[in-house]
Chain A
């Protein structure tokens, strides 16, 4: 069965970096784009980033552009989100999410369980 497992969250000081991971299984990972979505405590959902199936194309929300970098290792079925220059506004639960047929323009049929990032001094 399809599974996405997010990890790597924690408490980090403003200005520091953190790398999140998403371990995928149960589907052809190398055939699917993957998105990152975040949710600040008590708030709504915010799309963060998208990476194409082969890692050649990447897209970012304006709020993280230039600070966050998405990457993937298809041989390991792993997705990563490198987050630099973190600010308290980046505090959120971060989810990886799979588009239904692997395309950029699909709803998300599977989500990770989320990993909490807290940016605080």
Chain B
């Protein structure tokens, strides 16, 4: 199974500042035949299902504010929020969908400092 490890477990950032969340996979999730990273980022707020923010490591989903961006390839990935807003307080999960079983990171809890 591919193990997904997120860091840090929790993060406090001031409003308007940058937040950087990391995700490492125990093996590459880059599929060489199409050069795509099978890596997604989700945001989950209390009492709600997760919401897909970023797919294929760097593709922002429709309606997701452009302050959210994803980067990385192979085994190391980053979700960046360029200017933290109050509504961004949530838990963020990375997910690999390269192989079954699908696996998630343990989550990073993002708070306002």
Number of interface residues of A (CB under 8 A): 23
Total of A-B residue pairs, C-beta within 8 Å: 57
**Does B100 lie at the interface of the complex (its beta carbon under 8 Å from any beta carbon of A)?**
yes
Known contacts A100-B55, A105-B38, A108-B52, A45 near B100 by CB under 8 Å: no
A111 to B61 CA separation, bound complex (whole angstroms): 15
How many B residues have CB within 8 A of the partner chain?
Answer: 24
Contact present for A47 and B103 (CB under 8 Å):
yes
Indicate if the CB atoms of A59 and B100 lie closer than 8 Å.
yes
How does the 8 Å CB contact mask read for B33-57 relative to A, with 1 for contact and 0 for none? 0000010101010000111100110
> Which A residues lie within 8 Å of B51 (CB)?
111
Of all chain A residues, the one with the shortest Cβ separation from B106 is A44
Interface: B68 (CB within 8 A): no
Secondary structure call for the B interface: loop
CA of A50 to CA of B61, assembled, Å: 23
Looking at A46, A47, A112, the one whose CB has the most chain B CB atoms below 10 A away is A47
Residue pair B52, A45 in contact (C-beta under 8 Å): no
Q: Is the CB of B101 within 8 A of A61?
A: yes
Cβ B49 vs Cβ A107 within 8 A: no
- B-chain residues with CB within 8 Å of residue A111 when the two chains form the complex: 49-51
Separation of A19 and B35 alpha carbons in the complex (Å): 40
A72 within 8 A of B: no
List of B residues within 8 angstroms of A114 by Cβ: 49
For B74, what are the chain A residues with a Cβ–Cβ distance below 8 Å?
A: none
A44, B52: Cβ atoms under 8 Å? no
**Residues of chain A whose beta carbon lies under 8 Å from any beta carbon of chain B:** 35, 44-47, 50, 59, 61-62, 95, 97, 99-100, 104-109, 111-114
7 tightest Cβ-Cβ pairs between the two chains A and B: A107-B40, A111-B49, A47-B102, A45-B104, A107-B55, A44-B107, A44-B106
